Structure 1
């Protein structure tokens, strides 16, 4: 299994929330993205998108972003472009009711800028395209929660 998703068991997922409630099911979906076949991985990534970033960002989003970065660079992951697109979706979504959570989620994605840069040179053309989009989104990111004080 290697080192991807290392430390995931240390996160208290049951205390975190996503768009539909408890985040206790997030580790299983992350694992399916990491080691599932193409169909299983796509279904799990779709769930994660709905739960963590397509509607808004949540405290579970903040906890999941480092693991998404791990998945984005792991050669065995079947849908690395989809993982990269989820990172971009997280950066583009808000949570006005919890501005501190929004800031933390965005910061977690922004902190991976160097990784996005590496991915722009990946041998997989789909990864390169997704990474270029994410790098551009990171470089152009402006939002109320991330604005310098």
Structure 2
């Protein structure tokens, strides 16, 4: 499966669930996002959004987040802003099981430094989505994550108090 999505085949997707049942189809959708043309990628990402993050988070969401981060940083992925928006949706939604919610939120929060780097991306749509996600990470507070929040910071490596850097030059 190439260098992105490495390790995806080791996840026991058939034992995990998403909003509509078995997560067996998640690897195929992640692959379509990674290597599909613009329409194929967007359609697959739409499915992933419905399955993993728009309604609630699930155990399959927790397993998928590292692969979503892979997709977000891979320039060949045609729908990177949408991937970043899905990560934000995951951070903002709850689960019926608090431990699943906590794990999903921590998986997104753990990518704070990646979100920060994406906020300096050359693609304006990626920069905008990453900036929104960075703000969501910085302001995230929920009962399941409150103790862990002290450990996560997105302090920007791209900060330029004098405003001398052009966008995307970080």
Q: TM-score range by the shorter chain?
A: over 0.9
Q: Structure 1-normalised TM-score?
A: 0.98
Q: Which structure 2 segments of 5+ residues have no match? A: 149-170
Q: Which structure 1 segments of 5+ residues have no match? A: none
- Structure 1 stretches of at least 4 aligned residues deviating more than 6 Å after TM superposition: none
CA distance in 2, matches of 1:132, 1:30: 23
> For each residue in 1:52-71, what CA deviation from the matched residue of structure 2 results, as whole angstroms up to 9, or x when unmatched?
00000000000000000000
Q: CA RMSD in A?
A: 0.9
> For each residue in 1:73-122, what CA deviation from the matched residue of structure 2 results, as whole angstroms up to 9, or x when unmatched?
00110000000000000000001x20000000000000000000000000
CA distance in 2, matches of 1:139, 1:4: 27
CA distance in 2, matches of 1:26, 1:40: 14
1:61-80 map, 5 Å: 61-80=61-80
Q: 1:126 maps to what in 2? A: 125
Which entry has the higher C-alpha Rg, 1 or 2?
2
How far apart are 1:2 and its partner, in Å?
A: 3.7
1:57-136 map, 5 Å: 57-95=57-95, 97-136=96-135
Q: Structure 2-normalised TM-score?
A: 0.86
Count of residue pairs brought into register by the alignment: 148
